[in-house]
Amino acid sequence: MHSSEEIPVSGMSAGRSAMRMGPAELVQAAAMARRFYLEGKSKIQIAEEFGVSRFKVARVLETALERDLVRIEIRVPAELDAERSDALRARYGLRHAVVVESPAEAEESPDPENLGEVAADLLGELVAEGDVLGLAWGRSTIHMAAALDRLPPCTVVQLTGVYDAGTAERGSVEAVRRAAQVSGGDAHPIYAPMLLPDAATAAALRSQTGIARAFEYFDKVTVACVSIGSWEAGISTVHDMLTEEERAHYASLGVEAEMSAHLFDVEGRRVGRDLGERCITVEADRLRRIPEVVAIAGGQRKSGAIDAVLRSGLVTSLVTDTAAADALMTTGPAPRPALDRADPDGL
């Protein structure tokens, strides 16, 4: 955020309303405004310098704003939409919402790559030394990890298995390694598929030493980064891993969204919980206890899924784009605040 101020010191340049001030008042007001807005001095420091009370300084600064001696301009980088960000944060009761301009040529595409770059900067703000950062599988989290250039020393743990064990080195395992390399902390990857043929196989894998060690960190995670998928081909990796019959079954349950192998209907209620028993993933209840859960998802096609996941109460912050944000601002009645993280199922 950047602010700039113009401080006219003559009665004419200050505008008609400021012409009532005499030249001595104008000069003093301009000097005080310069000290406060440009030099960062406190009102007490200014009062001591000019030999007046701090209340007098406060009145002068207020008058300077009212009479247009000071013009304050708020700027953010061009790719960030501050107005949409604030509106979205307020609508969903999020801790942070960051809206990025959608690429003009790809407004219909899900998760533009620039979301990952902005999310990387956001994690640089949110993660503190000694935190445990959890990363779930997703294209957007992989883009985010690739864009990371600063993180304080922290432990990094993988929250889900991988989409395809054969691509682990280029996917979420590499994302965990990359984040740990940037932070200088320990990495705890999971070398296992996200989806297994049955619950027994998944349970056996969870008991293996390396995977069990990663799972032990789940309750210690302080900041998590997740992706959101719509229940359609090419936009949800879990959808794409299932058979046609399985997809139809879960669709019949009203699935609107998928996040870390958890399925949600349009109201944010979890459905198809049996799927989780076959998956290597952080449990929803554990996600709910993580203080900061940042979702990265964008594109108009994903807006319904994003809305559903935000209504679940599992996410505290969102990085998205203008195409998704505009759709989200017009979806039905406003949901309960996301920071009210009670389970919508009441379970």
The DSSP line for 255-307 is --EEETTEEE-TTS-EE-THHHHTB-B--HHHHHHSSEEEEE--SGGGHHHHH
What pLDDT is stored for residue 2 in this prediction?
41
Q: Is residue 148 part of a domain?
A: yes
Does residue 169 register a pLDDT over 90? no
pLDDT band, very low/low/confident/very high, at 24 (cuts 50, 70, 90): confident
Q: How far apart are CA 217 and CA 215, in angstroms?
A: 5
- Alpha carbons within 13 angstroms on the beta-carbon side of residue 78 total 1
Q: What is the pLDDT of residue 30?
A: 87
Over 70: is that where the pLDDT of 174 sits?
A: yes
| In-domain check, residue 269 | yes
CATH number, domain containing residue 244 = 3.40.50.1360
Residue 79 is classified by DSSP as: T
Q: CA-CA distances (angstroms) from residue 311 to 99, 181, 315?
A: 18, 34, 9
What mean pLDDT value characterizes the chain?
Answer: 85
Min mean pLDDT across 20-24, 288-292, 298-302, 324-328 is at 20-24
- CA atoms of 242 and 279, how far apart (whole Å): 12
Lowest mean pLDDT across 59-68, 85-94, 128-137, 312-321: 59-68
28 and 93 together in one domain = no
The structure tokens listed for 65 are 């704003």
Query: Do 48 and 197 fall into the same domain?
Result: no
Question: What is the distance, to the nearest Å, from the Cα of residue 329 to the centroid of all Cα atoms in its chain?
Answer: 17
Work out the pLDDT band at 111, boundaries 50, 70, 90. low
* Averaged pLDDT, 21-45: 85
Give the total number of structural domains in the chain.
Answer: 2
Residue 4 pLDDT exceeds 50: no
Q: Give the alpha-carbon dihedral of 99, 104, 105, 107, to 10 degrees.
A: 40
Is residue 56 located within the same domain as residue 114? no
Residue 4 lies in a domain: no
**Poorest-confidence range of 147-156, 303-312, 332-341?**
332-341
The DSSP 8-state label assigned to residue 81 in this structure reads -
For every residue of 194-258, DSSP letters joined together read SB-SSHHHHHHHHTSHHHHHHHHTGGG-SEEEEE-EESSTTT-HHHHHS-HHHHHHHHHTT--EE
Q: Specify the range with the lowest mean pLDDT, choosing from 147-156, 167-176, 198-207, 217-226.
A: 167-176
Domain annotation covers residue 8: no
User: For residue 11, is it within any domain?
Assistant: no
CATH number of the domain encompassing residue 28: 1.10.10
Instruction: Retrieve residue 277's tokens.
Output: 């028993």
| Domain-located, residue 132 | yes
Where does a domain end: 6, 40, 67?
67
- Residue 118 and residue 141 in one domain: yes
Q: Select, from the ranges 133-142, 163-172, 332-341, the one with the highest average predicted confidence (pLDDT).
A: 133-142
Query: Is residue 255 predicted with pLDDT exceeding 90?
Result: yes
Structure token pair of residue 7: 């401080």
- Considering the domain architecture, whether residues 113 and 204 belong to the same structural domain is answered as yes
Three-state SS at 75: strand
For residues 295 and 192, state if they share a domain: yes
Tokens 């302080």 belong to residue: 222
Looking at the structure, do residues 111 and 199 belong to the same domain, yes or no? yes
Query: pLDDT over 90 for what percent of the chain?
Result: 56
Domain with 50, as residue range(s), is 23-67
Is the pTM here over 0.85, yes or no? no
Does the pLDDT value for residue 347 go beyond 60?
no
Distance CA 294, CA 97 (A): 9
- Cα distance between the two ends of the chain: 42
Q: Do 63 and 100 share a domain, yes or no?
A: no
State how far Cα 297 lies from the chain centre: 9
Q: Are residues 156 and 262 in the same domain?
A: yes
Given 32, 67, 102, which residue is the final one in a domain? 67
Cα–Cα distance, 64 to 78 (Å, whole number)? 29
Single-letter residue type at 233: A
